[in-house]
Chain A
Amino acid sequence: MTAYIGKRLLLLIPTLFGVSALTFLLIHLIPGDLVTILLGITASQNEQTRQALIQALHLDRPLVVQYVLWLGEVLRGDLGHSLVTGFSVRDELARSYPVTLQLALMAMVIALAVGIPLGVLAATRAGRSLDASTRVFSLLFISAPAFFIGTVIIIGGARYAPWLRTLGHVPFTDSPGGSLLAMLPAAASLGLAISAIIARFTRSSMLDVLGQDFVRTARAKGVADRTVVFKHALRNALIPVVAMAGTQFVYLIGGAVIIEEVFALPGMGRLVVNAIYQRDYTMIQGAVLLLTSAAVLVNLTLDLLYHVIDRRILYA
């Protein structure tokens, strides 16, 4: 087990290398002149001002050199400074990542809390009206784009519950209760959409399990129906659901850009998108490094969790 974890963690390094090199190449492929964007039309034509900025940002060096310079800084623990604002990349990431993480966690809690029970109910009442209405609910929320659900919530909130704060962010450290409440509408928009996926998946997984031999055997032995359903079937059924939920969570910690935009949350999604638009190379590199590490670590944790739930699963 330790060897497995060790091996996976070691693999993290080349993955990060690969990702950062790929990102570097990709963002430098984007046409557009950083200096013009930074200085505005008039000032960017002044040769001295241009050159001063270009040299300050090392933009005159060949790409490989720029990458190596950046890499050197990272290995020394310095993620550098934003090319656009001069703010420390580490500070910006430290400010915005907790927002994204909080949103992701809250959305997952809502998704699981709503999705799993619904899926189980639908499976046990398969073929009847509850099942049908669950399917309708699921399909509705799967197919409605998140920005649409979000706007409906915001506009509805503004009209019918103006006291409810739907926009902006209250840092958790300022006020835990307030923070959770303020982020609830955004988390709900995301969470409901994901709960639909979870519900569908739980339902089909439960149906799979309920049809298996050992379940029938247990029933034949006369164990009470309820116990059969919940103890044995659920545990087995949850395994693929956990895997699926894990994938969703990994996607969420990448920053739900659209929800962040609609609900004015200062998270990683918006940070990176703005960085891309502004050609803020150092910020993009730092952010991608963080997001990729997080994704890989979360994947590793989920794999281990998966293993704990079902000891029969072998390592790939």
Chain B
Amino acid sequence: MKALPRALRSGSLLAGGLLVAGLVVAALAAPWLAPYAPTTIFAGAEITPPGPRFLLGTDEVGRDILSRLLYGARVSLGVAFPSVALAVLVGTTLGVGLGYWGGAPDLLAMRLFDVLFAFPPILLAIALVAALGPSTVNLVLTIAVLTLPQFAVLARSATLALKPQEFVQAARALGASHGRILGAHVLPNVTPTLAVQASLSLSIVILVEAALSFLGLGTQPPAPSWGSMLSRGRQYMTIAPWLVLAPGLAIMLAVLGFNLLGDAQRDLLDPRRAAGGRRTP
């Protein structure tokens, strides 16, 4: 709790928190905030500049950009949160289990992770999406599969570091069950590192979705996705910069927000850096 006043003073946490909160609000309140539906086509109004009727202009098909931006927040978060959550859940469980019990499964799993890490991630993503078919659920699964090894390895090394420590040995000697040890001792110590990683992963996933959208494998049309808006808008960039500025800025702010949150968490965890970087004279 004594972290709280320090937290409030942290610019990163505040800024990051605000940005992410804004994102979440936009996503949740999109149906009320958006002036139009994201897929409604206004025939003849393609690529109109921002104006009273369309606050951020329209795209190349004739759809309102502001509405698509707001609903796009749903799409981005709708992919980012579930996939990272899944990755954290499955990855942590796996990693803690492997670190705690070790043995043959651990050796096998580490080889498997070696294999996964050696495989170029973007190609794995493409192959998985191609194999599973283009849908949001499959996209979430694919990204989760790509991200979980990091969490597993992180959780595993953290667990391995904790295992020989006194308080764990003591608990075992006292007859505490594995479950209790894991729940009361291991997990709480592992969580902060994971939280930092999760924030950073969220920011990366937003970019991964944009990258996959560029290749036509992300969120499928006509669903609004910042990545596909940016990708399609590039072609008209010279005559209609708002087509790329709006989604580009949205992506930037989202990534910024998650990064700042991750930074702030890391700063809070590390007592040496609590003051945000002021150095000795």
A residues in contact (CB < 8 Å) with B? 11, 14-15, 18-19, 22-23, 26-27, 29-31, 123, 126-127, 131, 139-140, 142-148, 151-152, 155, 159, 204, 207-208, 210-211, 216, 219, 251, 254-255, 257-258, 261, 269, 272-273, 276-277, 288, 291-292, 295-296, 299
Whose C-beta in chain A lies nearest to the C-beta of B272? A211
Q: In whole angstroms, how far apart are the Cα atoms of A210 and B237 in the complex?
A: 45
Q: Which residues of B contact A272 (CB under 8 A)?
A: 120, 123
Which of B215, B252, B278 makes the CB contact (< 8 A) with A143?
A: B252
**Residues on the B chain within 8 Å of A219, using CB:** 280
The answer to whether B123 touches A276, judged by C-beta atoms less than 8 angstroms apart, is yes
Contact pick for A148, options B121, B122, B248, B273, CB 8 Å: B248
| A residues less than 8 Å from B178 (CB atoms) | none
Residue in chain B with minimal CB distance to A21 = B115
In contact, A145 and B131 (Cβ under 8 angstroms): no
**Using a CB-CB cutoff of 8 Å, which residues 267-281 of chain B contact chain A?**
272-273, 276-280
How far apart are the CA atoms of A145 and B207 in the complex, in Å?
6
Nearest Cβ distance between residue B260 and chain A, in whole angstroms? 8
If A26-B131, A147-B211, A254-B121 are given as contacts, then 17 extra A-B residue pairs at C-beta distance below 8 Å, sorted by A number, are A15-B111, A15-B114, A30-B127, A31-B131, A143-B207, A143-B255, A144-B251, A145-B227, A145-B230, A148-B230, A219-B280, A254-B123, A273-B215, A276-B130, A288-B123, A296-B114, A299-B118
Q: Which of B122, B248, B259, B276 contacts A144 (CB 8 A)?
A: B248
The number of A-B residue pairs with CB atoms under 8 Å apart is 139
Given contacts A18-B115, A148-B244, contact A155 B120 (CB under 8 A): no
Tell me which residues across on chain B come within 8 A of A14, comparing CB atoms. 111
Which A residues are CB-close (under 8 A) to B115?
15, 18-19, 22, 292
> Chain A contacts of B244 at CB under 8 A?
148
Query: In the complex, which residues of chain B have a beta carbon less than 8 angstroms from the beta carbon of A127?
Result: 276-279
The verdict on B256 contacting chain A, using a C-beta distance below 8 Å, is yes
B119 close to chain A: CB less than 8 A: yes
User: Total interface residues on B, using CB and 8 Å?
Assistant: 44
B89 within 8 A of A: no
Which of A11, A145, A261 has the largest count of B CB atoms less than 10 A from its CB?
A145
Q: Indicate whether A269 sits within 8 Å of B118 (C-beta atoms), given known contacts A142-B259, A207-B273, A208-B272.
A: no
**Distance between A194 CB and nearest chain B CB, rounded to angstroms:** 13
Taking the closest CB of chain B, its distance from the CB of A267, in whole angstroms, is: 12
Flag if A254 contacts B252 (CB, 8 Å): no
Q: Nearest B residue to A316 by beta-carbon distance?
A: B157
CB pair B120–A142 under 8 Å, yes or no, is no
* Shortest CB distance A276–B (Å): 6
B-side contacts of A22, CB under 8 Å: 115, 119
- Known A19-B119, A251-B121; judge A30-B131 contact (CB<8 A): yes
